[in-house]
Structure formats: structure tokens, C-alpha cells
Amino acid sequence: PDGGSATSVAAISPADIAGFHAARYRPGSSTAIIVGDIGVDDALRVVRTHFEEWGTQPAVQVRANDRPARRTRAVHLVEKSDAPQSELRIGHVGLPRTHPDYFPAMVMNLLLGGLFSSRINLNLREAHGYTYSAFSSFDWRRQAGPFVVSSAVRSDVTAAAAGEIMTEIDRMRAEQVSAEELSLATSYLEGVFPIRYETTAAIARALAGMVIYGLPEDYFDTYRDRVRAVTASDVQRAAGDFLHPAELQLVAVGDPAVVREPLVEMHFGPVTLYDADGARREG
């Protein structure tokens, strides 16, 4: 879990916490964002009153290793005996938020699995009845975050659902999307844009994102223009550049008695079995 395990959390000492705070919570890398019924002069006065004597020491810069743990396909089966459904996650390392092809990649993902009317959801939900919903997403971070397709499917169709997801990924890479599909995605992004920033809290979050990711000051002024500029060729190029079928990792949480043999037979990659705590059992 992102929040740690019982063992790892219990091992954290007061000294660990104090050291983390001293290294990371520093004035030189802090930004104050104030949104509301307040003028610039008053806002500056508030900030200076509370933070002017804090100093200018920058925080320690930390860069994680965001390279893939492996570059060949594999199946990771987590045992959940007697489960009527399997949780499926299929993905690989994605892109950093500041990648120059952020907009083509974002639009491509919307068409693949980011919208309710996306290809993956229509395939698994409408065409096959495997699930109530299936989606894909890039987790946008300062460094490369994961690209993941996720769904909960009936146990008996776990391997079949994974196969259909692979089909849609391959199709997105091989064929240009139609003008109608592309318009659906770009119109959606344009339409929800003003709704996303109706509250002061939403505006503050948006400004914080600009600081965190180092986005240009005109980012929101040019957002809709850049969405409209994405073409069908851009989408196919993004799919070819940023979807890597040969590197996909398949995680299935389900009943091995039902799902293991079909996963082996689909020849996705070597199958490793884990218990519910993540300890390797076989493979």
C-alpha cells in the first residue's frame, strides 16, 4: 500500500520524521497560494507577517528511479480464493507530466479508456458484458508515473477480458481514430474545462499544479487551443510512442483455481503467484 504496511509503519522512528521534515519542509522551495476575496497587497501582508523570517534555505531535491523494473511481459496473480470477480490491472511505466506530448497522450488515453464511451469500456462492458466499467489512465507526476488499465471482471472471463484490452491497445496503435471519435474527446475536454475551476479551492489546486510541475504561466490560457490542435495523426503517434504492448505487466487479484490456467494459456508472459500480502508463492 502507498501508506505502508504494518511492519514498515511501525519501524518509523521520531528521528526519521524529524529528519524528513528538516530536509523537505524548507522555505526556499515553498510557495504560498491565496485565492479568494483579498487584494494583492493584503495577501502579501499576510504572507510576510507569517513567513518573512522563515529564511531562504531550499529543500533537498530527491529524484526517484522511475525506470521499469522489467521490460518483458509478465502475469502477477494475487491469490484471493473463492472470489467471484477478479481485479485486473494492466500497464507499464508512463510519462512525466511535463512531457512535450502531454496533450496528444492525454487525448489518446481518453479515447482508449479515459471516457465512459472509450474503446476499452465499450468493448468489455457493452460488447462482451464482462464488467460494469473499465478505464485507463496515465498517473501524471513530476517523473514518469504508471499507465494502467483497470477493471473488475467475472472470474471466468479474466483472461478473455485481458485479451480484449490487449486488442484495443493494439488497435489504437495500428489505426487512426475517426474524426467523430476525436471530436468527442476534444469537445469533452473543452466543455468540462470551465466547470473544473468554478470554486476558489479548484483554482488554488490548479495554481498549485502549475508550481509543482513547473508549467508555463499561460498554461490555462492556452489549454483549449492546445486540445483543439491535437489531430488524429497525433493520437496514433502518441499510441505508438507511449503504449508498449511488449512491456505490459498484468496483475490479477482473484481465485487461482479459476483464473490461473486461462492466464497461462493466453501466453501473455510467465505467471507468478503471490499471497494476499504480496509474498511470492510460486513462479
**Residue-wise pLDDT tens digits, 91-145:** 999 999 999 999 999 999 999 999 999 999 999 999 999 999 999 999 999 999 9
Report pLDDT for 52. Answer: 86
Q: Who has greater pLDDT, 209 or 276? A: 209
Report pLDDT for 165. Answer: 98
Amino acid letter, residue 266: M
Cell of 70: 522489467
Mean pLDDT of 2-11: 90
Share of residues in the chain with pLDDT > 90 (%): 86
Cell of 129: 458484458
Report pLDDT for 28. Answer: 83
| The pLDDT of residue 283 is above 80 | no
Distance, CA of 31 to CA of 34 (rounded, Å): 10
Distance, CA of 201 to CA of 207 (rounded, Å): 10
| 74-79 and 271-274 beta bridge pairing | parallel
Distance, CA of 119 to CA of 111 (rounded, Å): 6
**Model confidence over 173-186: pLDDT tens digits?**
999 999 999 999 99
246: three-class secondary structure by DSSP = helix
Report pLDDT for 26. Answer: 87
The residues that bridge with 91 in the sheet, in sequence order, are 148, 249
Report pLDDT for 2. Answer: 82
Residue in the block written with cell 530527491: 62
Cell of 234: 497525433
Report pLDDT for 29. Answer: 82
Cell of 55: 529564511
Mean pLDDT of 242-251: 98
Report pLDDT for 203. Answer: 96
Mean pLDDT of 254-266: 96
Which pTM was predicted? 0.91
| pLDDT grade for 24, boundaries at 50, 70 and 90 | confident
Report pLDDT for 181. Answer: 96
> In this structure, are residues 173 and 240 in contact, taking their beta carbons and an 8 Å threshold?
yes
Contacts of 191 (CB under 8 A, 6+ apart): none
Kind and range of the H or E run holding 239: helix 232-242
Report pLDDT for 1. Answer: 78
Distance, CA of 273 to CA of 283 (rounded, Å): 6
Mean pLDDT of 146-171: 97
Report pLDDT for 120. Answer: 98
Distance, CA of 267 to CA of 254 (rounded, Å): 18
Mean pLDDT of 195-210: 96
| The pLDDT of residue 10 is above 90 | yes
Which CA distances in Å does 34 have to 19, 41, 79, 205?
29, 12, 48, 10
Residue in the block written with cell 491497445: 169
Q: Which has the minimum average pLDDT: 39-53, 118-132, 236-250?
A: 39-53
